[in-house]
Chains A and B, each alone.
Chain A
Amino acid sequence: MELKQKSKDIKISILKMLNNAGNGHTGGSLSTADIFTALYFQIMNIDPKNPNDPSRDRLILSNGHVAPVMYASLAHSGYFPVDELMTLRKLNSRLQGHPHMNSAPGIENTAGPLGQGISVAVGHALAAKLDNKDYITYCSLGDGELNEGQVWEAFFSINKFKLNNLICFIDRNKVQLSGDSIDIMPLEPLADKLASFNLNVIEASGHDFDEIITAFESAKNSNKPTIIIFNTIMGKGVSFMEGSYKWHGIAPDDEQTKKAIEEIQNGE
């Protein structure tokens, strides 16, 4: 299947760019790679040659530290050359360690301080309602990010303004920077909490393309604003990274990169 191959290409780019940078966030970039592949190559109505088209769908990154997955998705979609990914985190690069809005085509918002992107996404969705435009705003959130109060402020407003043109999704990999999220700050019962904000809550695998696509298509047709909880695995596809919080904020060395790329290439 084409999406599977695209996802492998994106994961390999993520590993190479992070290895070249020497630091950055590997775990979350890999856990969201399948979701981003589905969005950029199937779900979203976008044109890499016309990145500022007012009627485009938008992906607002709220968990800015997974910038590598977005940069790789943009490059493989044709927004800028794939070679440029190797400038990640380097001096004079358009690909900042955490994304800077409009620094390169397709970067819709500045992100990094957690909790901010979802409010920006609310703004894009409100603007669509004001202007009677039918684009859809997607917002990527990390599960650890839900520790931030601002996210819940935004949930209040999504319900108030009835933003069914905004689709939020959570990378539920259950680990964050310094440990398992259940120890840092428990989120469960997460679906119940979100449902209590009057959101349409969908739970799906974040690594099964059928489930990912079904979830987004269902969200598009919902009268209520949707939030998707994608169950994922930190460092997905690389055996020595999977499920470990230690891979939240580090980059693989040369040997680890070689081994990881082999595993991705030989994986399903």
Chain B
Amino acid sequence: MENNTKIQSKGIFESQNALHSKKSVRDAFGKALVELGKQNKNIVAFSADLAGSVRTNWFAKEFPDRHFEVGISEQNMMGVASGLAACGKIPFVGSFAVFNPGRNLDQLRASVCYSNMNVKIIGAHAGITVGEDGATHQALEDIAITRSLPNLTVIVPSDYNEMYKATIASAKHKGPVYIRSGRPKVEQLPESDFVIGKANILQKGSDITIIACGIMVQESLKAANELKKQGISARVINMHTIKPIDKEIIINAAKETKGIITVEEHQIHGGLGSAVAEVVVENHPIPMKIIGVKDTFGESGSGPELLEKYGLTSKQIIKEAINLLS
């Protein structure tokens, strides 16, 4: 912890050693939910036969009366949560992101977002790194879907600590919140403050800016360290909140560096890259490159293999950074 603080105060990563041992993001959610349950009796949680996978099972063990197993019925789950929220409860609705919000978009849209209900939606096992289950289970469009819904806050945490803080923050935020998480254990970033809508600069830089979310933040830091060796100073921004997006930090990056690269474990259409581009083109147009899955479905394979095949690596970021600056 002391080491983290030291790195953070310098604002610079000296090496890959700054990334700490891997931890499970869903465990952070599970732990935070139990903590919330202790603090507030209005916290309730739902499972659609995935309590163990999403980690609402820890909450269920602690507060069995406030955990509802609704079976494999994501549409009903979202609607029931809306009804409980109307009665003052704070429901956490968890399932795989392909179903939640993939299967229950209509319910999320009308019964939760249009009604501005205080429901927290956990899209677990999102992204291509869910791996072997294949394309049906790899949510690569959930950021685009959720980002287009009025009233909905969209958060994509990048590691254990951020998931924990995002979960706690979401309960304090009045209104619907979508939180995206992945399955693999991920390297830990140095601990930062977490404020919804306020992105964090993880590394200062003056030539180019890399804006990332989720596990692509770690890849971006690795890329920035490599670029530094080649004499390129890359700013790295962890854009944990996709909506409302931190416009100020983007505009400053557009003004102070020569180009912006965005990186996300998501389709290149409609996600983080699009959100950043919207701010850039309206305020201070500069060259951009959007890195993500290029309008294609994924496939079975291990997480690292898929990241490599679909170009979601520090190597790809380095290549695009050099292209953008040349």
Contacts and interface: CB of A to CB of B under 8 A. Distances in A.
Interface of A: 54, 60, 100-102, 108-113, 115-128, 130-131, 149-150, 153-154, 156-157, 160-161
A120 B75 contact: no
A62 B131 CA distance: 39
A102 to B, nearest CB: 8
Contacts of B80: 119-120, 122-123, 126, 154, 157
Contact of A123 (B71, B87, B109, B110): B87
18 contacts: A54-B87, A101-B114, A109-B115, A113-B110, A116-B106, A116-B107, A120-B83, A120-B111, A126-B83, A127-B84, A150-B76, A150-B107, A153-B70, A153-B71, A153-B73, A153-B76, A154-B76, A161-B68
Contacts of A122: 76, 79-80, 83
A125 B83 CA distance: 8
Contacts of A157: 70-71, 73, 76, 80
A120 B82 contact: yes
Interface string B23-67: 000000000000000000000100000000000000000000110
B110 A116 contact: yes
Nearest to B117: A101
Nearest to A96: B114
A150 B108 CA distance: 13
B81 interface: yes
A217 B33 CA distance: 41
B18 interface: no
B81 to A, nearest CB: 6
A160 to B, nearest CB: 8
A108 to B, nearest CB: 7
Nearest to B112: A110
B85 interface: yes
A160 B110 CA distance: 25
B86 A109 contact: yes
Nearest to A122: B80
B88 interface: yes
Contacts of B114: 100-101, 110
Contacts of B73: 150, 153, 156-157
Nearest to A120: B83
B125 interface: no
Given A109-B111, A156-B73, A157-B70, A119 B79 contact: yes
B89 interface: yes
Given A113-B110, A116-B106, A156-B71, A124 B79 contact: no
Nearest to A111: B110
B245 interface: no
Nearest to B83: A123
Contacts of A108: 86
A116 B86 CA distance: 14
A161 B76 CA distance: 13
Given A110-B114, A123-B87, A131-B87, 16 more contacts: A110-B115, A116-B75, A116-B111, A118-B79, A119-B83, A122-B79, A123-B79, A123-B83, A126-B80, A127-B83, A127-B88, A130-B89, A149-B75, A156-B73, A157-B71, A157-B80
Nearest to B75: A150
Nearest to A155: B76
A113 B89 contact: no
Contacts of A115: 75
Interface in B3-29: none
Nearest to B111: A116
A95 B285 CA distance: 43
B76 A127 contact: no
B17 to A, nearest CB: 49
Contacts of B68: 126, 161
A127 B79 contact: no
B78 interface: yes
A123 B85 contact: yes
B71 to A, nearest CB: 6
A127 B66 CA distance: 10
A110 B110 contact: yes
A109 B78 CA distance: 14
Given A112-B110, A113-B106, A115-B75, A123 B115 contact: no
A119 B110 contact: no
Nearest to B87: A127
B41 to A, nearest CB: 9
B76 A120 contact: no
Contacts of B77: 119
Contacts of B115: 100-102, 109-110
Nearest 9 A-B pairs (CB), nearest first?
A: A123-B83, A119-B79, A127-B87, A153-B76, A153-B73, A120-B83, A101-B115, A123-B84, A123-B80
A154 B73 CA distance: 9
Contact of B78 (A110, A119, A121): A119
B86 A124 contact: yes
A209 B225 CA distance: 77
